[in-house]
Structure 1
């Protein structure tokens, strides 16, 4: 039996990864699904059970350290081990820094607690168990963590922080048999950007990015799982992403223009 712990599993990439793992592993999969929405989480767990897998829904707010540690404890209590931790929970944001009022700037810190600290706390709690199983850690980052995207100063900062943490951790675990896979999705057809923060720290209700050619959540999830199974260091989702990370060393101004071009006209800085 392989035990997977997946955060942000109530919808989007996390939910689809759970369903795909349930279908491919069947009765050999035990899924511990974490998110804040218990009803949606239980719905995904039922779908996984229908595919033959074992599944537990654990309501978790990864912005709370105690809940991250409780999630890991419950996974071990239920199944006795952890083979893979998928740090997928995240919140998006779209706002020009100049549009954020001083009294609203606190949501930058809130975003960091979810996107960065949530992954740190879950990983720290699960690490002894992952070392024992010589398992896998997956961190779902973003292309905005490879190239700073205008209008996404807060979001890019959280993902750059995540990248630095997991790159360093990968080196620390080099001889422990634990793999660390960083996944870098581009624009994926999920609701994350619509629920993310606007300049006032409220739900944006819309995306500031051009959505044409968005990758399906099924394809994105498939690529992350393939990278995890192959113990790849990185999974960069798009050709633009692969090109951009090298181009920013050679022609950073060009990369900035490409990033600006990805924004809708109404949210571009003027």
Structure 2
């Protein structure tokens, strides 16, 4: 697979964050050329400079994935720089921690805009070029993409939407040789939890409650790399995610009670 990736062009969103940066490094180490997109231009420049220091080819694409025009521009810039686009990793995401009754509708709209519409925008812009190369598309979902999660209604909705979108897209492009992989981790040591907002859109000050251990970004990046190479359609990259998958399907009521008991401790007003 390393030989196959040499010279291939991979576009990664949320590239300045923990998992995004780890994915950039992993694919660059395999010889891929990296188009790195993020809203944080300064951190993005740091990441691409680090990649170039290792001998990799890297392009910084500062931009907002919620803007369809910016997504088209990112794809155009990638093609202008590298001449092709072989893979897209939709990694950018944000979260919130608030009961729905305490959540401003604008918070949910923003979460949906980044997590779902951002991925849809960029995928649509990139799709003809990826089909031409028989490449791959990855969407970073979550355990919240296939099961409920108390206090994160907007986040769970955005991740559930990814599953409907990318599972349906797979049926449209698999015959053209394009792979589509959904990734559903539980907890990763990245900035998404620390950067979560409350119901008003302000940063959350209290730490999140986790179940099981947290994986490092590098561990998850490696598992994604292997899953894409193997043509997997769904990756549950850690033990907590795998347990959640099976329990939520075999005993959904029990799963919901356990989840609410653990995560619900974050919310004093939860009945």
TM normalised by structure 2 equals 0.93
Q: How does 1:2-41 map to 2 (within 5 A)?
A: 2-25=8-31, 29-41=32-44
User: Are the aligned partners of 1:140 and 1:184 in contact in 2 as well (CA < 8 Å)?
Assistant: yes
Partner of 1:235 in structure 2?
A: 235
Distance 2:205 2:62 in 1: 24
Distance 1:109 1:154 in 2: 8
Unaligned stretches of 5+ in structure 2? 1-6
- Regions of 4+ moved over 6 Å: none
1:164 aligns with 2:164: yes
User: Are the aligned partners of 1:194 and 1:207 in contact in 2 as well (CA < 8 Å)?
Assistant: yes
User: Are the aligned partners of 2:215 and 2:238 in contact in 1 as well (CA < 8 Å)?
Assistant: no
**CA offset at residue 108 of structure 1?**
0.6
**CA offset at residue 45 of structure 1?**
0.4
Q: Alpha-carbon deviations, 1:200-259, whole Å to 9, x = none? A: 112224443227611111101111111122221011123332233333333211111222
1:135 aligns with 2:138: no
Distance 1:249 1:184 in 2: 15
User: Are the aligned partners of 1:189 and 1:216 in contact in 2 as well (CA < 8 Å)?
Assistant: yes
Partner of 2:181 in structure 1?
A: 181
User: Are the aligned partners of 2:107 and 2:199 in contact in 1 as well (CA < 8 Å)?
Assistant: no
Q: Considering only aligned residues, what root-mean-square deviation do their CA atoms show, in Å? A: 1.5
Q: Alpha-carbon deviations, 1:25-58, whole Å to 9, x = none? A: 2xxx210000011110011101111222100101
Distance 2:247 2:266 in 1: 27
TM normalised by structure 1 equals 0.93
1:254 aligns with 2:254: yes
Distance 1:124 1:266 in 2: 37
User: Are the aligned partners of 1:145 and 1:160 in contact in 2 as well (CA < 8 Å)?
Assistant: yes
Aligned residues: 264
Partner of 1:123 in structure 2?
A: 123
**CA offset at residue 64 of structure 1?**
1.1
Structure 1 residues 211, 48: closer, same or farther in 2, change over 3 A? farther
Partner of 1:44 in structure 2?
A: 47
User: Are the aligned partners of 1:208 and 1:267 in contact in 2 as well (CA < 8 Å)?
Assistant: no
Partner of 2:208 in structure 1?
A: 208
Partner of 2:99 in structure 1?
A: 96
Q: Alpha-carbon deviations, 1:148-167, whole Å to 9, x = none? A: 11111110000000111000
SS at match of 1:198: coil
Distance 1:65 1:200 in 2: 26
Unaligned stretches of 5+ in structure 1? none
**CA offset at residue 14 of structure 1?**
0.4
User: Are the aligned partners of 1:94 and 1:207 in contact in 2 as well (CA < 8 Å)?
Assistant: no
